[in-house]
Amino acid sequence: MTKILIATDKPFAPIAVKGIRKVIEEAGFELVLLENYTSPNDFISAIADVDAVIIRSDKADKAVIDAAKNLKIIIRAGAGYDNIDLQAATEKGICAMNTPGQNSNAVAELALGLMVYHARNFFNGKSGFELKDKKLGIHAYGYVGKNVARIAHGFGMKIFAFDPFISKDEIEKDGVTAVASAEELYSTCNYISLHIPANSQTKQSINYTLLSKMPSPAVLVNTARAEVIQEADLLKLFADRKDFSYLSDVEPTNKAEFEATYKGRYFFTPKKMGAQTEEANINAGIGAARQIVNFLKNGDRTFQVNK
């Protein structure tokens, strides 16, 4: 029987797993569940004989892909597929897909939630400030960026965006000011919300030169990827500018240095929480299951990322 594996070290909500199971079993396939696994070897063993796999931020590196003897499709239930070794997948003729847009509202809500939490002094009882009329810069205007703009409009923020791949008209029809460069965005806005993917162009690209352009007070919100930040530069900026804060859904590797010296100017979720809502799990998980069924039964390659 055709086997579909869900391999998630951070499990989907039970209601999403139930929905995924329904889609898989109605298609006549068998669902295999590997949740909360602690060693990559567990993933390597589980993937050996399956035809398809659904993952989240789980690392599908060459070792994992090479261990998959029957694999035809790997789906990242979510947006960023930097955790998949695409070259290894392509070499083995495995189709890799993501589920664009399916968890974007959840991530956007968290980005604004982090801003509120910080603006109210992490709820410590002291007077904070409001987001209304503050300038927000959205760095990359994809599904998440668009949702951030929609929610930030409700807060009455002044919204700017930079995305070299999206036209000015497309951005401005949402009531957002499109700027011509990242430099312009960072020079204009007190808040920057990062929504760039992690790839060879963007890794380590958020550096001192860019961040130091932000007007005071400056708040960087990262619900994207830790790898896009040049962490040594960020720490240098923290040392140079007391007005600078960093809120992130992904812990930096040098978290201890922030904790030792910069209390009150940072917040890191202990576990990546952006997409961790029932709704996002249902949308991305069931979307992934449907994409697998469509691919295996009809050869549908919509959303393939390793073309």
- Sites of contact with ligand 3PG (CB under 6 A): 10, 56-57, 78-80, 103, 272, 274-276
Q: Tell me the closest approach of the beta carbon of residue 79 to ligand 3PG, in angstroms.
A: 4
Angle, vertex CA 16, rays to CA 273 and CA 296, nearest 5: 115
Q: Is the dihedral of CA 58, 63, 64, 66 positive or negative?
A: positive
Shortest distance (Å) from residue 249 CB to ligand 3PG: 8
Compare residues 73 and 218 and give the one whose CB is closer to ligand 3PG. Answer: 73
Closest to ligand 3PG by CB, 56 vs 265, is 56
Nearer to ligand 3PG (CB atom), residue 147 or residue 190 = 147
Say if residues 191 and 138 touch (Cβ distance below 8 Å).
no
CA distance between the termini of the chain: 28
Residue 37: how many other CB atoms lie within 10 Å: 16
Environment class of 293 (CB within 10 Å of its CB; exposed 0-12, middle 13-18, buried 19+): buried
Say which amino acid occupies 132.
Answer: K
Dihedral of alpha carbons 136, 148, 9, 51, sign: negative
Residue nearest to ligand 3PG according to CB distances in the complex = 78
Closest separation between CB of residue 99 and ligand 3PG, Å? Answer: 8
Name the residue among 151, 150, 109, 156 with its Cα closest to residue 134.
156
Residue matched to tokens 């959303």 = 303
Closest distance of CB 97 from ligand 3PG, Å? 13
Nearest-approach distance from CB 78 to ligand 3PG, in angstroms: 2
Phi, psi values for residue 140, rounded to 5°:
95, 120
Judged by CB, which is closer to ligand 3PG: 123, or 165?
165
The nearer residue to ligand 3PG, 80 or 217, going by C-beta atoms, is: 80
Between residues 190 and 193, which has the closer beta carbon with respect to ligand 3PG? 193
Q: Tell me the closest approach of the beta carbon of residue 287 to ligand 3PG, in angstroms.
A: 11
